[in-house]
Amino acid sequence: MPHLRKNVFINCPFDIEYRPILNSILFTLIYIGAMPILSETISSSDIRIIKIKKLIAEADFSIHDISRCRIKKISELPRFNMPFELGLDIGSIYYGNKRQKQKRILILEKDKYFYQKILSDISGQDIFNHNDKPIKVIEIIRDWFSVLNKKKYDSLEKIWNYYNDFNDSLIISLQKEGCKKNRILKLPVTEFIGYAGKYIKEIMKTKVI
């Protein structure tokens, strides 16, 4: 059964290219009983940095993906929002309240050791590379929380199979509504979380304990 719900702050890109990774993060967190909170859901009327600090303060855990701190071609610029928010979060551990001081942070990267070239001061944090593969992200998050919570969750294979079944069923459902197949990558995060939560709630009812 899922673990007691805990807030998990997610700091990552929100573009369509990254959505397969983000969707796998969201699904896995909901599956193990956590509650993802993201700055993507912030109202445009809010002062963004104040809201981000509030989300960080409310989180029991954080996941930061810094894999976009690089450029693929000369015309691009590196994106520093992710390491900036990571810095805020790490700072909250040292300067925040009691709850924040107990927080654990998971840092994701695409390639092993790349962070050492651009952000060497974070050495010593929990840093894992996912190679842009959703199944690897699911494995990392599942195993990380299993160690922290001293709890055996369902196997990677079982979660991965459920995740793929969820994606297939959601695509079919959206197509019945007249949406294109890639609509799943363009769904607002709050909608995706809602769909995933409903799916996981249903499968948990049928699981053999």
Q: In the numeric block, which tokens belong to residue 117?
A: 């070239």
Residue 188, CA atoms < 13 Å, CB-side half-sphere:
8
* CB neighbour list of residue 8: distance below 8 Å, 6 or more residues apart: 29, 34, 35, 36, 37, 59, 60, 61, 62, 63
Per-residue DSSP letter, 40: G
The CATH class given to the 7-206 domain equals alpha beta
Domain ranges of the chain: 7-206
Residues 42-69, mean pLDDT to the nearest whole number: 81
In the predicted structure, residue 45 carries a pLDDT above the cut 70 = no
3-class SS at 11? Answer: strand
- Residue 197 phi/psi, 5-degree rounding, is -60, -40
**Cα separations in angstroms, 33 against 93, 114, 177:** 23, 31, 29
Q: What is the pLDDT of residues 61-100, one digit of tens each?
A: 999 998 877 666 666 666 678 888 888 888 888 887 777 7
Residues 114-135, mean pLDDT to the nearest whole number: 72
Total-model pTM: 0.86
* CB neighbour list of residue 166: distance below 8 Å, 6 or more residues apart: 27, 195, 196, 199, 200
- By percentage, how much of the chain surpasses pLDDT 90? 46
Nearest to 131 by CA among 150, 111, 113: 111
Instruction: pLDDT band for 139, please (50, 70, 90 cuts).
Output: very high
Separation between Cα atoms, residue 134 and residue 163, nearest integer Å: 10
In the predicted structure, residue 111 carries a pLDDT above the cut 90 = no
3-class SS at 4? Answer: coil
37 bridge partner residues: 9
